[in-house]
């Protein structure tokens, strides 16, 4: 008879519960909490589970559960979007974030399996960090793309500390920050020597950030870099869905535009003025309502252009989520269609058999472009979700001078979701070395300079307009020029060295060499 003291631990106690606990704990490092020290507990606990797993299958189960808990908590705010249409989709309320976490779980399972196949010790750490980063990068492409909440975004603290810590993204991107984060979290608790070395890496990281901030602090002005007016109507989704409020919403945006443009013209010093309306802020189809375009242009009289979020119909019968570039005479100079659509929100992924997207969803656009308006520096349009796609936000063949991001985060309420979205926009400013002007329907509307430093903001849940001159862009950053090639090579190197690297063993002198 086997004694209770020596009875093997069950899979639940050995794999399931510790993996869920570690993944759930790691979620507290995401914006807006930024509790990065919890990773010193979460990742070592997970690695211990992987070390104790008895097969690659158990390791894969542990990875899936870690990822499931991480993303269930990290994406809890998805439930808010379902609650807005609870009468229609009430049955989805308990499944919103767990369902997404089930899809994202395999991205953690694969690194766990590879880690288990490596030799124990530092090799497993390198393999886990490299494989985790590569799996994270693959989220841009697999299952239609959902690269939300990379671990590198944990460092986007508010204020000066965050400014410093996110600067290396200009060289290695947010995925490179993810690689460093996982490595530091795992090595720092392995002993005194490793802790000292990890502390030294953090010091070098911070010093490099400070140096870059100082080097880019003063930039010569660019005459055609505009003064932007961000219009935040603070229109709830419930208000937008009630047809009786359409005119009130439109009048609100006209009034805020007029007030903001007047202020901008008075402070512009001769620079052009551009106003931005958030994603789908126009309550209709703008290119089909010339009277409305004329009214908007009149409200923004004196501005060089307006960037207005609207729906657009196509000759193919499909609707598109668009940005219309409106000139002073009310004509539409250009239209940009959102190319990265939100799965389950804007289109139905082919691998989901149940129809959950009303009307069959939207049609995507052709990808990143640079747009121009007479007298205004070129800009890269980004609608909502597109700003999270690191390395894919600009046209590399025609680099813009600034990024115009319009969004509607009202679906997700005053939760972590809009703050996580905001962290992504900030990191894009650092990676690409160019200012980001972000107009959000309910907030947070904000302007970042080319280093990700906040210049001005309108907080969540207020109605108003924000006026801010845009600083000039920086020259090409390393990441801006080479994109994800940089973090890919780094992560692959870690992975390969973990599998094939040889441990250094000091040579021992033969005692006979010292004998006479």
329 plus 203 within the same structural domain? no
139 plus 231 within the same structural domain? no
Of the chain, the percentage scoring pLDDT greater than 90 comes to 72
59 plus 138 within the same structural domain? yes
pLDDT of residue 301: 96
233 plus 201 within the same structural domain? no
- The pLDDT tens digits for 405-454 are 999 988 888 999 999 999 999 999 999 999 999 999 999 999 999 999 99
Residue range(s) defining the domain that contains residue 25: 11-215+484-500
| Helix-then-strand count for the chain, H and E | 18, 12
From 338, 346, 363, 386, active-site residue? 338
Cis peptide before 32 (omega within 30 of 0): yes
From 100, 115, 183, 384, active-site residue? 384
DSSP state of 515: -
Residue with tokens 């009303």: 358
User: Mean pLDDT across the stretch 120-128?
Assistant: 95
**In DSSP terms, which residues pair with 228 in a beta bridge?**
274, 468
Q: Is residue 516 situated within a structural domain?
A: no
DSSP string spanning 119-164?
Answer: PTTHHHHHHHHHHHHHHHHHTTTGGG------GGGGG--SHHHHHH
C-alpha–C-alpha distance, residues 353 and 120, integer Å: 42
For residues 249 and 179, the model is more confident at 179
Residue 125 has pLDDT above 90, yes or no: yes
489 plus 470 within the same structural domain? no
C-alpha–C-alpha distance, residues 340 and 324, integer Å: 17
Q: Is residue 5 situated within a structural domain?
A: no
The total number of residues written for the chain in this structure:
516
Q: Is residue 396 situated within a structural domain?
A: yes
pLDDT of residue 358: 58
Q: What is the CB neighbour count within 10 angstroms for residue 36?
A: 18
Mean pLDDT of the chain: 89
Q: Is residue 222 situated within a structural domain?
A: no
pLDDT of residue 515: 42
User: Mean pLDDT across the stretch 478-497?
Assistant: 96
Residue 332 has pLDDT above 90, yes or no: yes
How many structural domains is the chain composed of? 2
375 plus 305 within the same structural domain? yes
pLDDT of residue 355: 59
Residue 512 has pLDDT above 80, yes or no: no
Residue 336 has pLDDT above 90, yes or no: yes
From 58, 237, 262, 279, active-site residue? 279
DSSP state of 8: P
Q: Is residue 309 situated within a structural domain?
A: yes
Residue 90 has pLDDT above 60, yes or no: no
C-alpha–C-alpha distance, residues 248 and 246, integer Å: 5
Residue 2 has pLDDT above 50, yes or no: no
- The pLDDT tens digits for 8-48 are 678 888 999 999 999 999 999 999 999 999 999 999 999 99
Helix or strand holding residue 337 (H, E)? strand 332-337
- The pLDDT tens digits for 38-89 are 999 999 999 999 999 999 999 999 999 999 999 999 999 988 777 766 566 6
Q: What is the CB neighbour count within 10 angstroms for residue 233?
A: 25
pLDDT of residue 241: 65
- The pLDDT tens digits for 239-280 are 766 655 788 889 999 999 999 999 999 998 889 999 999 999
166 plus 314 within the same structural domain? no
User: Mean pLDDT across the stretch 470-492?
Assistant: 95
Is 240 annotated as catalytic? no
- The SS3 of residue 69 is helix
157 plus 199 within the same structural domain? yes
pLDDT of residue 141: 85
488 plus 472 within the same structural domain? no
41 plus 149 within the same structural domain? yes
Residue 175 has pLDDT above 80, yes or no: yes
Is 338 annotated as catalytic? yes
- The pLDDT tens digits for 344-386 are 777 766 666 555 565 567 788 889 999 999 999 999 999 998 9
pLDDT of residue 87: 61
User: Mean pLDDT across the stretch 281-296?
Assistant: 92
Residue 459 has pLDDT above 80, yes or no: yes
pLDDT of residue 423: 97
- Positive or negative, the CA dihedral 446, 249, 307, 406 is positive
User: Among 196-200, 297-301, 306-310, 313-317, which is the least confidently predicted range?
Assistant: 313-317
Q: Is residue 327 situated within a structural domain?
A: yes
473 plus 495 within the same structural domain? no
What are φ and ψ of residue 220, in 5° steps?
A: -65, 145
pLDDT of residue 157: 93
Is 384 annotated as catalytic? yes
Tell me, letter by letter, the H, E, C secondary structure of 423-438: HHHHHHHHHHCCCEEE
**CATH code: domain of residue 412:** 3.60.110.10
443 plus 490 within the same structural domain? no
């Amino acid at each position: 008879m086997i004694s209770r003291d020596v009875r093997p631990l069950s899979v639940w106690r050995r794999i399931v519960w510790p993996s869920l606990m570690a993944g759930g704990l790691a979620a507290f490092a995401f914006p807006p909490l930024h509790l990065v020290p919890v990773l010193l507990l979460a990742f070592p606990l997970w690695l211990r589970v992987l070390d104790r797993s008895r097969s690659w299958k158990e390791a894969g189960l542990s990875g899936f559960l870690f990822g499931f808990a991480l993303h269930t908590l990290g994406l809890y705010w998805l439930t808010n979007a379902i609650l807005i249409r609870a009468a229609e989709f009430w049955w989805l309320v308990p499944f919103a974030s767990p369902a997404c976490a089930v899809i994202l779980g395999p991205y953690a399972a694969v690194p766990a399996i590879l880690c288990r196949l490596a030799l124990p010790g530092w090799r497993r750490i390198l393999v886990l960090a490299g494989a985790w980063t590569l799996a994270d990068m693959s989220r841009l492409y697999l299952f239609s793309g959902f690269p939300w909440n990379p671990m590198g975004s944990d460092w986007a603290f508010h204020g000066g500390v965050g400014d410093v810590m996110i600067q290396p993204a200009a060289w290695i991107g947010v995925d490179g920050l993810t690689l460093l984060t996982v490595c530091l979290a795992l090595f720092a608790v392995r002993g005194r020597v490793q802790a000292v070395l990890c502390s030294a890496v953090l010091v070098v990281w911070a010093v490099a950030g400070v140096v870059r901030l100082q080097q880019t602090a003063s930039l010569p002005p660019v005459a055609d870099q505009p003064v932007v007016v961000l219009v935040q109507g603070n229109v709830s989704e419930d208000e937008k869905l009630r047809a009786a409020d359409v005119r009130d919403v439109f009048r609100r945006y006209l009034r805020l535009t007029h007030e903001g443009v007047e202020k901008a013209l008075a402070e512009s010093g001769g620079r052009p003025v551009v106003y931005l309306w958030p994603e789908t802020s126009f309550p209709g189809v703008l290119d089909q309502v010339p009277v409305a375009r004329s009214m908007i242009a009149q409200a923004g009289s004196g501005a060089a252009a307006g960037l207005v979020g609207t729906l657009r119909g196509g000759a193919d019968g499909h609707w598109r989520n668009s940005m219309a570039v409106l000139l002073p005479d009310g004509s539409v100079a250009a239209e940009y269609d959102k190319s990265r659509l939100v799965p389950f929100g804007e289109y139905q992924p082919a691998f989901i058999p149940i129809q959950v997207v009303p009307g069959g969803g939207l049609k995507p656009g052709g990808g990143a472009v640079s747009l121009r308006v007479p007298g205004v520096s070129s800009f890269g349009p980004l609608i909502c979700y597109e700003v999270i796609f690191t390395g894919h936000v600009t046209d590399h063949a025609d680099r813009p001078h600034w990024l115009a991001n319009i969004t509607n985060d009202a679906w997700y309420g005053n939760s972590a979701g809009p703050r996580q979205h905001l962290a992504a926009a900030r990191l894009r400013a650092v990676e690409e070395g160019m200012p980001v002007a972000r107009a959000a329907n309910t907030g947070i509307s904000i302007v970042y300079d080319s280093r990700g430093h906040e210049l001005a903001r309108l907080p969540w849940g207020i109605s108003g307009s924000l006026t801010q001159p845009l600083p000039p862009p920086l020259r090409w950053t390393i990441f801006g020029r080479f994109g994800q090639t940089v973090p890919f090579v780094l992560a692959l190197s870690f992975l390969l060295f973990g599998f094939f690297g040889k441990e250094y063993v000091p040579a021992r002198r033969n005692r006979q060499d010292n004998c006479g």
